Chains A and B, each alone.
Chain A
Amino acid sequence: AQSVTQPDIHITVSEGASLELRCNYSYGATPYLFWYVQSPGQGLQLLLKYFSGDTLVQGIKGFEAEFKRSQSSFNLRKPSVHWSDAAEYFCAVGGYSGNTPLVFGKGTRLSVIA
Chain B
Amino acid sequence: DTAVSQTPKYLVTQMGNDKSIKCEQNLGHDTMYWYKQDSKKFLKIMFSYNNKELIINETVPNRFSPKSPDKAHLNLHINSLELGDSAVYFCASSPASGDEQFFGPGTRLTVL
Contact = CB atoms under 8 A, between A and B. Distances in A.
Interface residues of A, number: 26
A100 B92 CA distance: 14
Given A90-B43, A106-B42, A96 B98 contact: yes
A88 B106 CA distance: 15
Interface in A88-114: 88, 90, 92, 94-102, 104, 106-107, 109
A46 interface: yes
Interface residues of B, number: 26
Contact of B41 (A92, A98, A100, A107): A107
Interface of B: 4, 31, 33, 40-43, 45, 48, 50, 55-56, 90, 92, 94, 96-106
B100 A109 contact: no
A46 B42 contact: no
Contact of A96 (B4, B55, B96, B106): B96
A29 B40 CA distance: 30
Contacts, number: 63
B81 to A, nearest CB: 22
B49 to A, nearest CB: 10
Given A42-B105, A43-B90, A43-B104, A102 B42 contact: no
Contacts of A94: 97-100
Contacts of B94: 101-102
Counting from the closest, the 3 A-B pairs by CB-CB distance are A94-B98, A43-B103, A44-B103
A63 interface: no
Nearest to A94: B98
B26 to A, nearest CB: 15
Nearest to A109: B41
Given A97-B98, A99-B48, A107-B43, 18 more contacts: A32-B99, A38-B41, A43-B103, A43-B105, A45-B103, A46-B100, A46-B102, A94-B97, A94-B99, A95-B98, A99-B50, A99-B55, A99-B56, A101-B97, A102-B94, A102-B101, A104-B43, A107-B42
A101 B106 contact: no
